Structure 1
Amino acid sequence: MRGFDYSQSGLYFVTFCVQDRLCLFTRIRRNKLELNEAGRMVQAEWEKLPMRFLDIRLHEFVVMPNHFHAIIEIEKGDENGDWSLPGGADLQECQVPKPYQENGFQKEKSPGTKKLGQIVGAFKSITTVKYIEGVKTRNWPQFDGRLWQRSYWEHVIRNETAYRHISGYIITNPEKWAQDRLNMPE
């Protein structure tokens, strides 16, 4: 949305596609996902994002053959550094550790919340580099030009009803692959 501050606390539904909609990450068999090695890498890198961006929380997500759906929550601390969930959604509260402890090092919350586009951009960049490494060393299928399409689709989740609807869509997306508009014949 033009003029919307995508760094503010809230829940966001994002979708991004592989360039040319090549099926590189999974197969769907009997309505079940079968992640290949590249798909497992994409999933693992998504799950690592909260270690890079301390002010996010991951909700439902799915790696599809040629696209990715996820709900991501951006949380902001108040002036005292206390964390709070965004208003409006009656979702179960989560506890965000502060300061964050990793391998004996303390990491404070990130200085200034990153915008959604920066988070998605970092994820796309990391997975592209790792995918290229897989092409070179593990014989993963090649891609032409770029791994991911340039932009992505986002939707601000404004209430619990919308959250439940989108969450259900993500969870059941593999079952509906045959009818999915992103399902391109291989």
Structure 2
Amino acid sequence: MDDLYQNNYRVPSARLVEYDYGSNGMYFVTICTRKKEFFFGDVDVETARIKPTLIGQVAMDCWLSIPDFFPFVLLDAFQLMPNHVHGVLWICKPETDTPNWQPNRFGPQRQNLASILRGFKAGVKKYATMHKIDFGWQPRYYDRVVRNNNELNRIRAYIENNPAKWIDECNNPESLYM
């Protein structure tokens, strides 16, 4: 397909080609707001914790409700930031024990990472629309298959320390967040 459009209309996927994103495993995700706008709140300089806006609280509540809609998902680390969220999800379907290194196939997208995140994003957007709150998501998200416990521990530390790093970046005049 890249030859057909000469790489002009399609962003290459960062996904593992041979991996089934509906299989059991842990996934680290980052989802940004539209144009990285600060919809979710501000980070308190003294506590390095976010003070969520109404839509920020809705995003946290929607994240926590993921297992209500996808009972095979266990939630791990999560962090709301002013213009994005970080989270770790564990897909834990009882019928399979190990990650499935099978290529993704074209067809219905359900019970996989994409459908889980689509539901999360839709829940937040629906609330914003119903309550006339200006809000939007970027169309894509970043994901990473967590491959081992050392990587998981590094990701958890990154997520936990993200608000403190945000303060450091906001105090830097050359920061991308300004």
Same fold per TM (> 0.5)? yes
1-side partners of 2:176 and 2:157: how far apart? 19
SS of structure 2 residue aligned to 1:177: helix
Amino acid at match of 1:117: A
Q: Structure 2 stretches of 5 or more lacking a match? A: 1-15, 100-108
Choose which of 116, 139, 143 in structure 1 pairs with 2:113.
Answer: 116
Q: Structure 1 stretches of 5 or more lacking a match? A: 88-111
Quick one: percent identity of the two aligned structures? 28
Choose which of 163, 166, 173 in structure 2 pairs with 1:177.
Answer: 166
SS of structure 2 residue aligned to 1:131: helix
Alpha-carbon shift at residue 27 of structure 1 (Å): 0.5
Render the CA deviation track for 1:70-111: whole Å, top value 9, x for unaligned. Answer: 0000001127xxxx6x58xxxxxxxxxxxxxxxxxxxxxxxx
- Quick one: structure 1 residues 18 and 132, their matched pair in 2 at CA, closer, same or farther if it must change by over 3 Å? same
Is residue 41 of structure 2 the alignment partner of residue 18 of structure 1? no
Amino acid at match of 2:145: V
Is residue 138 of structure 2 the alignment partner of residue 149 of structure 1? yes
**In angstroms, what is the RMSD of aligned CA positions?**
2.2
Aligned length: 148
Is residue 49 of structure 2 the alignment partner of residue 32 of structure 1? yes
Which TM-score applies when normalising by structure 1?
Answer: 0.73
Amino acid at match of 1:41: V
SS of structure 2 residue aligned to 1:77: coil
2-side partners of 1:12 and 1:161: how far apart? 14
2-side partners of 1:129 and 1:165: how far apart? 33
Which TM-score applies when normalising by structure 2?
Answer: 0.76
Aligned partners of 2:55 and 2:124 also within 8 Å: no
